[in-house]
């Protein structure tokens, strides 16, 4: 898929929880419960293969995997290539259990801190979006999920098909408009 094919009206569907980098740092520091470690390792071991097959069957505009540049960084790459802007609803972004608590305690990997710094000029957050959620949306992921850009009229079909296979399918935002000369490509609302 070509990263320059996102379209106005595309729904943004995320297939794995965010916060893997923070959880990995928490595990190394001995700060995570067994249940969190189990959820984390299960997610890390899950491949994106079936989600990829389903999205291709449904027909999507584009997709990207969420890895080292975090959700914001990878979204920024697609929006830049597609000359679009997007809106994210922070309350819809799924996070690993304990990721918020760990980030609040300062247990954040260096790559995530770098992402926050590198991508902050591309993001506008409305009042009420907690600082910790800004950190999580920039968390450098290992074995992250897919961020799928699907035309709005196919969103429900995609979400249903993914969920039927036991794959997380969170509608976290939408591609909102065309715009190539404004640094503030991503609007984050609660």
Domains recognised in the chain with CATH numbers: 10-189 (3.90.650.10)
pTM: 0.96
**DSSP states of the chain:** --TT---TTEEEEE-S-B-HHHHHHHHHTT---HHHHHHHHHHHH--SHHHHHHHHHH--SEEEE--TTHHHHHHHHHHHHHTEEEEEEGGGS-B-TTHHHHHHTT---HHHHHHHHHHGGGEEE-TT--HHHHHHHTPPPSS--EEEEEEGGGHHHHHHHHHHTT---EEEEEEEEE-SS-S--EEEE-
- Tens of pLDDT along the chain (190 residues) come to 999 999 999 999 999 999 999 999 999 999 999 999 999 999 999 999 999 999 999 999 999 999 999 999 999 999 999 999 999 999 999 999 899 999 999 999 999 999 999 999 999 998 889 999 999 999 999 999 999 999 999 999 999 999 999 999 999 999 998 866 567 899 999 8
């Amino acid at each position: 898929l070509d990263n320059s094919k996102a379209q106005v009206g595309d729904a943004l569907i995320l297939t794995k929880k965010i916060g893997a980098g923070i959880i990995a740092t928490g595990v190394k520091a001995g700060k995570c419960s067994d249940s969190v470690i189990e959820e984390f390792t299960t997610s890390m071991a899950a491949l994106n293969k079936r989600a990829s097959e389903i999205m291709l069957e449904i027909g999507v505009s584009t997709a990207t995997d969420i890895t080292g540049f975090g959700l914001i960084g990878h979204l920024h790459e697609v929006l830049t290539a597609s000359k679009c802007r997007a809106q994210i609803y922070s309350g819809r972004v799924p996070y690993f259990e304990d990721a918020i608590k760990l980030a609040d305690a300062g247990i954040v990997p260096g790559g995530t801190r770098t992402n926050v710094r590198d991508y902050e000029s591309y993001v506008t957050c409305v009042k009420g979006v907690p600082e910790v959620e800004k950190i999580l949306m920039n968390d450098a992921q290992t074995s992250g999920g897919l961020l799928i850009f699907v035309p709005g009229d196919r969103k429900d079909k995609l979400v249903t098909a993914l969920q039927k296979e036991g794959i997380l399918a969170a509608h976290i935002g939408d591609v909102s408009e065309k715009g190539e000369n404004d640094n503030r490509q991503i609007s984050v609302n609660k």
